[in-house]
Amino acid sequence: MKPSQSTISIPSWIKPLLFIAFAAVVTGACKEQSSSSSGGMPSPPSGGGMPAPPAPPAPPSGGSSGGGGMPPPPMPGGGSEGESSEPSGDSSGSGGEVGSFPGGGDESMGVPPPPSSSGGGAEGGMPGEASDGGDGGDGDSEEASEWEAEETSETSECGDTGSLPGGVGGMGQDGECIGGGGSSSDSDSSSESSSGGGGGGAAGSVQGTGGAGGVGEFPEESDEERAERLGQELDESIGGFDETLQEAQSEISAAGRSTEGFGEGEAGAGGGISLGEQASGGNPISVANTRISRESPIAGMSQDDIRERTPDDIPMMVDDDIIARQLREAALAEDDPALRDRLWEEYRKYSGN
């Protein structure tokens, strides 16, 4: 006697629930993939809309409220409230705004053509909804895989660095990949020295300008404002280069210098002449004329004292000529602050600082 086959009775309300849950899982998977590859799907320019999400297919049996019962899952990068299939981001196509392409160029960027405004978006290779509802599960998985393929193609323009063609904020030139992990901006930012090695050291760094921005990339900015902005960038870059030079000079001064071979023994603290201290020892390489030989008035001054008495805008350089060196020594040796300031002023006038 054959055993009777047992049948499991499933409540009728469970099936639509299952389908909805499955759709939500698939949609969530799509969202995760898109966020990991490109940081968000770029929205196409205006005139089109994001394809409508795959609506949950109608339940195989009646009793359910149909496809309109549940709101569509949120679109990746769209921020839609769920009812609309239009992109929620700014799609004006103007530069400088996150998520938009300056100047469009959707075809070159690999963005699929916008679907028709009637929504649904089943043409053009877009992962459209299954018009007839389909069989649900398989169709959704195909849609998911198509989304993945599109994301891959869209990010391939800039490799897998998470960068956007055209640049976030429109800082780069067209076609350049800016941002992300491994992309490079305009060549003058943070480039290493082209000379040998460039090992550590501040002298190996170039103060980048951050990209000056091409003409037209800040359309709301007038020429005067742009010139002013660029001028500020230049000032900042110059200031940064000053720091680079200062660090290089510090490295040199740390090495010290012995003048033993010139008959005056070792000068300066630490057994050598460091920057700013050569004045204290005088120029050891004197000439065959004893009229200019004299004892320096700051011979006994420590390096800290010299730094303290030297204004910030005056570099601690030793390559002064005889006049500048005498002015510097006089200023350093002067105890009266007012007179010292006047002497530094004279030094500035003479050396052109």
Partner 1 sequence: MTRIALLLIAVSFVLPACAVNEVITAEETELIVAETPPDESLLLDIGVVEFDGSIAADNDPLKSGIHEEIRSAEVRYLPYHLKTTLQGTGHWGAVRVIPSRDAFTDIIISGDIAKSDGEFITLKISVDDARGQHWYSKSYSTQTGISSYSENRDKRVDPYQKVFNDIANDLKTFVGQLPPGTVHEIRQVTELKFFADMSPRAYGEHLTTNEAGQIAIVRLPADNDPAVDRLRQIRERDRLVVDTLNEHYANFYYGIAIPYHSWRKTAREESINYRQVKRSAALQTLMGAVVLAGSLAVDTGSSSYSKSRMQKSLQYIAIEQGIDAIRTGFSRRSEASMHLESIKELSESFGAEAAPMVVTVEGETRRLTGTAAAQYESWRRLLKEIYEAETGFVETADAVDADPVRVPEPTG
First to last CA, the chain: 111
Query: What is the distance between the alpha carbons of residues 191 and 247, in angstroms, rounded to a whole number?
Result: 18
State which residue, 60 or 231, has the beta carbon closest to partner 1. Answer: 231
Instruction: Tell me how far, at minimum, the Cβ of 144 lies from partner 1, in Å.
Output: 42
State which residue, 65 or 353, has the beta carbon closest to partner 1. Answer: 353
Burial (CB < 10 A; 0-12, 13-18, 19+), residue 319, is exposed
Helices (H), the chain: 14-38, 137-155, 223-255, 278-281, 303-309, 322-333, 337-351
State which residue, 46 or 161, has the beta carbon closest to partner 1. Answer: 46
Query: What is the distance between the alpha carbons of residues 311 and 307, in angstroms, rounded to a whole number?
Result: 8
Provide the residue type at 160 as one letter.
Answer: D
Instruction: Tell me how far, at minimum, the Cβ of 188 lies from partner 1, in Å.
Output: 4
With beta carbons less than 8 A apart as the criterion, state whether 61 and 15 touch: yes
Instruction: Tell me how far, at minimum, the Cβ of 17 lies from partner 1, in Å.
Output: 53
Query: What is the distance between the alpha carbons of residues 188 and 211, in angstroms, rounded to a whole number?
Result: 8
State which residue, 77 or 281, has the beta carbon closest to partner 1. Answer: 281
Instruction: Tell me how far, at minimum, the Cβ of 198 lies from partner 1, in Å.
Output: 6
State which residue, 31 or 328, has the beta carbon closest to partner 1. Answer: 328
Instruction: Tell me how far, at minimum, the Cβ of 87 lies from partner 1, in Å.
Output: 23
- Specify the residue for token string 């992309």: 183
State which residue, 32 or 90, has the beta carbon closest to partner 1. Answer: 90
With beta carbons less than 8 A apart as the criterion, state whether 347 and 331 touch: yes
Residues near partner 1 (CB under 8 A): 188, 191, 193-198, 201, 203-209, 212-213, 215-216, 219, 222-224, 226-227, 230-231, 233-234, 237-238, 241-242, 244-245, 248-249, 252, 255, 257-264, 273, 275, 283-289, 291-292, 315, 317-319, 321-323, 349-350, 352-353
Instruction: Tell me how far, at minimum, the Cβ of 114 lies from partner 1, in Å.
Output: 24
Provide the residue type at 337 as one letter.
Answer: P
With beta carbons less than 8 A apart as the criterion, state whether 269 and 278 touch: no
